[in-house]
Each structure stands twice: as structure tokens, then as C-alpha cells.
């Protein structure tokens, strides 16, 4: 593609959306594309850019280096932000020389195929494109709620990217909310640490994305990336001078398996990516707000993601899944007259449970196969074909767990599973995000889609846009979730709606029926339990987002807690509207979400106060209508006995208010339906 064609091509179709027009949505804004070209002299040094509302101001400066300054409502955020792209033999280290600049403003409506937050997303920004001499350039976008940039290249042959540098210097002390890993080999499950920027001096640590920066001046910044393909994921490390510096894993030159699920890199290349010479690199984005609600409502990953690659998506079905690993696959009680475990009778019991409550899937985790390295032979106690037939009769699909090594060593496994009638796969233990492994994710998603298989990635990095290119990817782990048992507590999880879940689907695996306060916590599988109240666990299904949501506990306990189970199984996995009502990162989150004409309210809080109260306005309800609200709230003794909850029924109207009272590590969950 010639350089001018690359430069002028506008990408207007992120995955899983169609443009909304007056014909198909009369009440939405018509897509408006206003393009105003401005050619600057090559000697120009400063290029200003502001958000449509004028609150975010960027000054991009060229010269010996490429740098920018960012301010929000007049307050400096990034004092100096240095950007640089280095490639073998290109001479780009000598600094950018602007050949052409172009500005444009875009205001359009995007429609996600499987919306986690909004069925209609406004995509409104101002953009500056700089074309540099030597075959590369930069795109910079300013939104009302943040900024994003990416490099693009135009070279005839493949290129080796040696490094992509981003260095941010803060004008004052910031509080960094980080997941710190000891190396680039990580499952992204580290707990959050909270470190003043000038005190982060661990040069051996790298922080995964996303991360949250609290300027301590009333404004926060969420950093992440989107459209990451054929390229490594970005990390941050300290720059040793009150700032952050980007870091990337080198491309592996040679690696070998470690056991049945690990890998060891034996040799690294001198570059981070060898890739197509003419392409656009991943977007780096920063959501900026003085209201923490903005991070819960963030859709930037979607707005910047690539185009949907699947023509046929009618077979993709988000939903709930009953999952046996967390509860030890041990149903019990008078209805269980068989030996429980990874066997046909137990999985039939799980299918019966799913069918009883209208749950879409069961997930058969580690233990269903005779050998984790051979996904074609079930263990002798599992009659897979009988289970598939039984599930089909009950309208319950089966998902199967695999290690990534099994998938890599047996690429025909997706075709075989499709022939069997399996509905999807859970791929686990990748624990890397170098270029090779990023490409593995895409190969899996593409091959799985050919055979109509859903994908849930565990032991994975965070969502970064591939799920919109291949919408059969329903979820990612990459989170410190309930698998960590006592290592998963609300004080950490209260950051998730503002950081990890703010960038995409999150397989946290909620749904515990045995609930304890932290000082009383003691449990092991098969009697797995969670920290937090029962109402907290139920609220997670509303507050947390995943197109494939797990019901992690034992069917026996769900049957015994029927009113809770019936409530959980009414909660959707995709949403038409999301409104954060009360939000403070790490402290509390109360959200209202709409699906069709039903509203759901979920609230969670941490361990800091015995009780927290919120009076929420119900102005999101439709005027003139009465709603019946069924709520699950913390009981009077929930601060000590986490199992204590109350179920209430209340009539509500728009314009009214409702007072929530949450115990420590507590929650609130409600469904609001119109009355006749």
C-alpha cells in the first residue's frame, strides 16, 4: 500500500458494531465526519490538539524527539511524555521530521455485537495525524474522556521493531495502583499494590496494564491498550524519576515446554516484534476523569479495536455456565446416590442443574481428559458422547478445558471438538504476552471460530481488542478472582470495576454460597467459600462484566438457596445501558444497568467501615411507570455473619430515591421490572 493510501485510510468499523443511522435508530445521532486538512510546514514544532469539549489539551512537539504535554481542565497531567519508535535499519532514532499533518473531527455512533456496557456507544474525538519522513507516522486522538495514540508504518518489506518507547513524567506525586509482576511471564493475577510514584523504585518489577494513576489532585487516569495484534503487550516500569517507562517482552527466538502447561524461553530476539512493514501498531490510551464513575462506564477498548473478522456470528451465545472445579465436582445429599467426581454421573447432575435453572452451559475443567497433553481421549469414567447427547436433550452446551500446550500441539483439536458437538473451550496457562503468544491467542480464536467454538482464555493477559475482531472470545481471566480462595478479598476486588473490568470482560468466577468475613475465613475445596457477604456475591453478577459468566459453587448449595439462585440466573451477561451511581475506586461501586425494559442495581463495598449508606436517585427509570423491585440486602448481622441477608419487595417510581445500606465487605443486588 503506498504511503498516501495508508495515511488517508480511515478505520471506522471496530469489531462487533454497525453504524447506526436514522433508518435503523431514529433517536441516535447521525454519524458526522468533518475533515479539515491542514498542511503544516516541515519546520513546525508544536501541534496542539484538544478534546471536543475543550477540557483536555495536548501539545505535541517535534524536533530532536517527539514529546507531548497533557492537561485536564488546566491542570498539568503529563509534564513530559516522550514517544519513540525504533526499528532495525530505519534511522528513526534520529528524530521525527514531519512531512505532512492532517486534522479531523469524528462524531459517530457504534453498536457492539455483544455489549458489556452500552448497546450504542458514542465515538466522538478530534484527531491529529502526523506523517514523518522515513515511512512512519503517529495518530493522536483526543476524546472528552481521554486520549489515545498509535504509530503506523509504511515499509515495503517486513520490519523488526526494536522498541516502542513511552516515558511519562508526572508534575507531582501520584498514587499508582498497580499489579506488579516479577517478570514478563505472568498470569496477570497479582494483587494491587498502591505506591506513590516517587517511591516506586523496584527496577526489577514490571506493572501489567491496565493500571490506575491517581494524581492526588482530584483526577485519575486509567492506562491501557487496544488493537494489540502481531505485537507484544505493553508493561510499565519505573523510570527512577517520578515517572513511568514502557517495557515490552522481547520476541522469543527459542522456547521449550515445561511440564504439561508451562514454557521456558531459551533465547530471545534482539527485537520485540518482527511484523508487516505496512501496518498500524496498537493503540495506547488514557481515560482521564475527576469522576471515578467514568472508569466503570469506559468503552475505550471497544472504540479503538479492530474490525470484526467473522461474517457469521449467529451461533455465538453469551451466557451463564455451571463450573465444577471451584467446588471440587462433589455434589452431595439425598439426590446424589453416586460417587461424585470427574465422571459421567456427576456431569449429568451438573447438566440437570443447568437445565433446571435455564443455564446455558456447563464447563468441564481439568480432570475430564485422561491426559492433559492429549485432548482426544476422555478419562475412562467420562462417556463424552453420552454427555453431549444428554446436554443437547436438555438444551445445555458443554465447554471443555484445555492447556494452551495441548491446543498448540494438537491444532486439529478444534475441528474434532466441533465434530463432537462441543460448544466452546477454556484455554489455560499461557502466562506470557510476547509477540508469539499474542499471535497464539489469535490463531486459537480464528481456528475455534471456524468450528463454531466459543473461547474463554485463562492464565491470560487482559482484553486488548482481539475479542472484537473475533467475537467468539467471550471472556478472559487475567484477574485475581475467586480461584485464589482466601487470597481474593473485597479490599482488592473493589479496584476491579475501575481498572481490570473497565477494559473488558473478566472471568472472576463469582457465585459462592458459603460466605465469610475475613477474620473467620477458613475453607478448602470441596467446601470452598468466599470472603464477603451473600449479598456481595450476588451483586458481583451485576457489577462485574463477562459475556461468559460462571456459577462457581456446588449445585447442591444452589438448590438449597433457591431464591438466590433464581435471582442470579435472571441477570443478563450483556447490557443496553450502564450508569455508575456511586463510585470511588477501591472503596465502593454502585451501578444501575438496563437490559431491555428491566433495570438491575448492584452495589459492593470494602472492609473499611462496618456499614455504608447510599441514597440513590431513581431518575434513570421511565417517567410515569411503577416498578416492582426485588432486592437482596445485607442482614443486620452481616458485618459478623456474612451469610445474613434479607430479600425485599418494594414498589418504586422514577424521581424517587432509595437508601442502600451495605455491611463491610457487603453488597446490594436488585431487579426492577415494570408492573402492569
Is residue 597 part of the annotated active site? The answer reads no
SS (H, E, C) 467-536: HHHCCCEEEECCCCCHHHHHHCCHHHHCCHHHCCHHHCCCCCCCCCCCEECHHHCCCECCECCEECCHHH
Tens digits of residue pLDDT in 341-369: 999 999 999 999 999 999 999 999 999 99
What DSSP line would sit under 200-268, residue for residue?
---TT-EEESSEEEE-SSS-EEEEEEE---SSPPPEEEE-SSSEEEEE-PPPEEEEEEETTTEEEEEEE
Q: Count Cα atoms within 13 angstroms, Cβ side, for 37.
A: 5
Q: Which of 374, 379, 653 is nearest to 364 (CA)?
A: 379
Tell me how far CA of residue 363 lies from CA of 329, 337, 546, 570, in angstroms. Answer: 11, 22, 15, 19
What percent helix, strand, coil does the chain show, rounded to 5? 20, 40, 45
CB 368 within 8 A of CB 379: yes
- Residue 273: beta bridge partners? 161
Nine-digit cell string for 584: 470511588
**What residues contact residue 306 under an 8 Å CB cut-off, 6+ apart?**
11, 14, 15, 227, 229, 465, 468, 469
Q: How far apart are CA 243 and CA 297, in angstroms?
A: 27
Answer whether residue 666 shows pLDDT above 80: yes
Residue 391: φ, ψ to 5°: -60, -40
Q: How far apart are CA 235 and CA 287, in angstroms?
A: 17
Q: How far apart are CA 268 and CA 253, in angstroms?
A: 5
Q: How far apart are CA 422 and CA 593, in angstroms?
A: 32
What residue spans of 2-146 are helical by DSSP H?
3-8
pLDDT the model gives residue 248: 98
| Domains, the chain, ordered by start | 3-304 (2.70.98.10), 509-546+557-676 (2.60.40.1180)
Nine-digit cell string for 223: 492506562
What is the rounded average pLDDT of the residues 562-576?
A: 98
Nine-digit cell string for 107: 462524531
Answer whether residue 64 shows pLDDT above 50: yes
**What residues contact residue 334 under an 8 Å CB cut-off, 6+ apart?**
none
Tens digits of residue pLDDT in 168-218: 999 999 999 999 999 999 999 999 999 999 999 888 899 999 999 999 999
Tens digits of residue pLDDT in 456-478: 999 999 999 999 999 999 999 99
Answer whether residue 36 shows pLDDT above 70: no
Residue 166: φ, ψ to 5°: -135, 120
Q: Count Cα atoms within 13 angstroms, Cβ side, for 588.
A: 21
3-state secondary structure of 1: coil
Maximum Cα interatomic distance, the chain, rounded to a whole number of Å? 82
Q: How far apart are CA 457 and CA 473, in angstroms?
A: 8
Q: Crossing angle, helix 413-420 and helix 384-394, to 10 degrees?
A: 50
Q: How far apart are CA 324 and CA 560, in angstroms?
A: 17
Answer whether residue 140 shows pLDDT above 90: yes
Share above pLDDT 70 across residues of the chain, in percent, rounded to a whole number = 93
Which member of 483, 582, 634, 644 is catalytic? 483
3-state secondary structure of 83: strand
Tens digits of residue pLDDT in 476-511: 999 999 999 999 999 999 999 999 999 999 999 999
Answer whether residue 121 shows pLDDT above 90: yes
Q: Computed over its alpha carbons, how large is the radius of gyration of the chain? A: 25
Q: How far apart are CA 377 and CA 245, in angstroms?
A: 47
CB 315 within 8 A of CB 449: no
pLDDT the model gives residue 39: 36
Q: How far apart are CA 66 and CA 85, in angstroms?
A: 10
Q: Which of 151, 145, 124 is nearest to 34 (CA)?
A: 124
Instruction: Give me the chain's average pLDDT, please.
Output: 93
Tens digits of residue pLDDT in 208-235: 999 999 999 999 999 999 999 999 999 9
Residue 199: φ, ψ to 5°: -105, -5
Is residue 428 part of the annotated active site? The answer reads yes
Tally helices (H) and strands (E) across the chain: 13, 41
Q: How far apart are CA 160 and CA 117, in angstroms?
A: 37
Q: How far apart are CA 514 and CA 643, in angstroms?
A: 7
Tens digits of residue pLDDT in 608-655: 999 999 999 999 999 999 999 999 999 999 999 999 999 999 999 999
pLDDT range class, residue 394, cuts 50, 70, 90:
very high
Which member of 428, 553, 633, 644 is catalytic? 428
Amino acid at each position: 500500500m503506498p504511503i498516501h493510501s495508508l495515511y488517508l485510510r480511515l478505520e471506522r468499523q471496530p469489531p462487533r458494531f454497525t453504524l447506526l443511522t436514522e433508518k435503523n435508530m431514529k433517536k441516535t445521532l447521525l454519524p458526522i465526519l468533518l475533515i479539515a486538512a491542514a498542511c503544516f510546514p516541515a519546520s513546525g514544532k508544536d501541534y496542539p490538539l484538544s478534546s471536543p469539549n475543550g477540557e483536555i489539551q495536548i501539545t505535541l512537539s517535534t524536533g530532536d524527539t517527539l514529546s507531548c504535554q497533557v492537561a485536564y481542565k488546566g491542570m498539568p497531567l503529563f509534564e513530559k511524555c516522550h514517544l519513540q519508535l525504533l526499528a532495525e535499519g530505519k534511522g528513526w532514532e534520529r528524530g521525527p521530521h514531519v512531512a505532512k499533518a492532517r486534522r479531523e473531527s469524528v462524531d459517530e455512533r457504534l453498536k457492539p455485537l455483544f455489549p458489556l456496557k452500552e448497546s450504542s456507544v458514542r465515538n466522538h474525538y478530534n484527531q491529529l495525524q502526523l506523517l514523518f519522513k522515513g515511512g512512519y507516522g503517529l495518530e493522536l486522538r483526543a476524546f472528552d474522556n481521554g486520549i489515545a495514540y498509535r504509530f503506523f508504518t509504511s515499509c515495503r518489506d517486513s520490519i523488526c521493531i526494536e522498541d516502542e518507547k513511552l516515558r511519562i513524567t508526572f508534575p507531582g506525586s501520584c498514587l499508582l495502583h498497580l499489579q506488579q509482576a516479577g517478570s514478563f511471564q505472568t498470569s496477570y493475577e497479582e494483587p494491587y499494590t498502591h505506591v506513590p510514584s516517587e517511591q516506586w523504585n523496584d527496577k526489577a518489577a514490571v506493572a501489567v496494564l491496565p493500571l490506575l494513576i491517581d494524581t492526588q489532585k482530584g483526577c485519575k487516569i486509567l492506562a491501557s491498550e487496544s488493537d494489540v495484534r502481531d505485537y507484544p503487550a505493553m508493561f510499565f516500569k519505573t523510570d527512577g524519576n517520578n515517572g513511568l517507562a514502557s517495557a515490552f517482552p522481547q520476541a522469543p527466538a527459542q522456547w521449550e515446554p515445561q511440564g504439561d502447561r508451562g514454557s521456558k524461553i531459551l533465547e530471545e530476539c534482539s527485537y520485540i516484534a518482527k511484523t508487516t512493514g505496512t501496518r498500524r501498531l496498537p493503540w495506547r490510551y488514557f481515560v482521564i476523569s475527576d469522576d471515578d464513575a467514568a472508569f466503570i462506564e469506559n468503552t475505550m477498548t471497544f472504540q479503538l479495536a479492530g474490525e470484526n473478522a467473522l461474517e457469521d456470528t449467529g451461533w455465538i451465545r453469551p451466557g451463564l455456565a455451571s463450573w465444577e472445579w471451584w467446588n471440587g465436582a462433589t455434589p452431595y445429599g439425598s439426590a446424589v446416590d453416586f460417587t461424585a467426581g470427574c465422571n459421567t454421573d456427576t456431569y449429568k447432575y451438573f447438566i440437570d442443574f443447568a437445565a433446571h435453572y435455564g443455564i446455558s452451559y456447563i464447563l468441564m475443567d481439568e480432570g475430564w481428559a485422561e491426559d492433559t497433553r492429549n485432548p482426544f481421549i476422555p478419562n475412562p469414567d467420562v462417556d463424552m458422547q453420552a454427555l453431549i447427547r444428554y446436554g443437547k436433550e436438555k438444551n445445555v452446551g458443554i465447554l471443555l478445558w484445555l492447556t494452551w500446550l495441548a491446543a498448540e500441539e494438537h491444532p486439529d483439536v478444534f475441528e474434532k471438538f466441533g465434530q463432537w458437538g462441543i460448544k466452546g473451550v477454556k484455554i489455560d496457562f499461557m502466562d506470557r504476552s510476547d509477540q508469539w503468544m499474542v499471535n497464539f491467542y489469535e490463531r486459537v480464536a480464528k481456528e475455534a471460530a471456524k468450528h463454531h467454538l466459543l473461547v474463554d482464555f485463562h492464565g491470560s493477559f487482559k482484553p486488548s481488542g482481539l475479542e472484537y475482531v473475533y467475537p467468539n472470545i467471550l471472556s478472559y481471566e487475567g484477574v485475581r478472582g475467586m480461584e485464589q480462595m482466601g487470597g481474593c478479598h473485597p479490599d482488592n476486588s473493589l479496584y476491579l470495576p475501575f481498572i481490570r473490568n473497565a477494559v473488558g470482560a473478566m472471568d472472576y468466577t463469582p457465585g459462592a454460597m458459603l460466605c465469610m468475613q475475613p477474620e473467620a475465613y477458613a475453607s478448602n475445596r470441596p467446601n470452598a467459600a468466599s470472603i464477603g457477604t451473600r449479598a456481595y456475591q450476588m451483586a458481583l453478577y451485576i457489577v462485574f462484566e463477562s459475556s461468559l459468566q460462571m456459577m462457581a459453587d456446588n449445585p447442591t448449595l444452589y438448590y438449597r438457596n433457591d431464591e438466590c439462585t433464581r435471582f442470579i440466573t435472571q441477570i443478563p451477561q450483556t447490557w443496553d445501558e450502564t450508569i455508575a451511581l456511586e463510585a470511588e475506586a477501591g472503596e465502593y461501586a454502585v451501578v444501575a444497568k438496563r437490559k431491555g425494559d428491566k433495570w438491575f442495581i448492584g452495589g459492593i463495598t470494602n472492609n473499611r467501615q462496618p456499614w455504608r449508606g447510599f441514597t440513590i436517585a431513581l431518575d434513570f427509570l421511565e417517567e410515569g411507570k411503577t416498578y416492582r423491585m426485588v432486592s437482596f440486602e445485607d442482614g443486620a448481622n452481616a458485618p459478623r455473619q456474612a451469610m445474613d441477608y434479607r430479600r425485599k419487595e418494594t414498589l418504586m417510581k422514577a424521581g424517587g430515591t432509595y437508601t442502600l445500606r451495605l455491611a463491610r465487605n457487603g453488597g446490594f443486588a436488585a431487579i426492577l421490572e415494570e408492573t402492569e
